[in-house]
Amino acid sequence: MSEEATRAMIESRGDFQNAVRGALAEAALVGCREIWLVDDDFAEWPLGEKAVVDDLTHWAAAHRSFTIVARSFDALARQARWVTWRRQFSHVVHCRANNELEAGQMPSILLVPGLLSVRLHDRVHYRGVATRDKADELQWREAIDAVLQRAAEAFPATTLGL
């Protein structure tokens, strides 16, 4: 989404994935303080792609926060690049799970406060919006906060065995 554009409609899976890629690339370039991601399971998100992991690596630094909330991390756990990145940058990554919501009730949101937001309203037909509108950011932040109220830590960076 160009800087002049305030809103861009998402009308396909490719549009959605490109919006996520673009948002994370811009966050890395600008160096924003925090990133929020919310989805049922992130199965359709391009988080395991090399370019996306490279952008996240460029973005990650001390005093930054990457919060990811899901119902289940099973699909994301199968994306080896992302899992490796998550382990390496565990000091900035916070994984939370909300198991109280039914499948499909969790919003699909990428929020980079002060910069841009992506929201998928219809997961079946991949309809949504990428926006720089502050009112959308505020509304979607409230939706994230509602999900976080009943979320618990999940998807540890490492697992300890006996």
C-alpha to C-alpha distance for 9 and 59, rounded to whole angstroms: 26
**pLDDT given for residue 2 in this prediction:** 47
For every residue of the chain, which 3-state class applies, written as one string? CCCCCCEEEECCHHHHHHHHHHHHHHHHHHCCCEEEEECCCCCCCCCCCHHHHHHHHHHCCCCCEEEEEECCCHHHHCCHHHHHHHHHCCCCEEEEECCCCCCCCCCEEEEECCCEEEEEEECCCCEEEEECCHHHHHHHHHHHHHHHCCCEECCCCCCCCC
pLDDT in tens, 6-59: 899 999 999 999 999 999 999 999 989 999 999 999 999 999 999 999 999 999
CA angle 107, 135, 71 (to 5 degrees): 15
Read off the pLDDT band of 145 (50, 70, 90). very high
Residue 3 has pLDDT above 90, yes or no: no
**This prediction's pTM:** 0.91
**pLDDT given for residue 1 in this prediction:** 52
111, burial (CB in 10 Å: exposed 0-12, middle 13-18, buried 19+): buried
pLDDT in tens, 100-113: 988 889 999 999 99
Read off the pLDDT band of 4 (50, 70, 90). very low
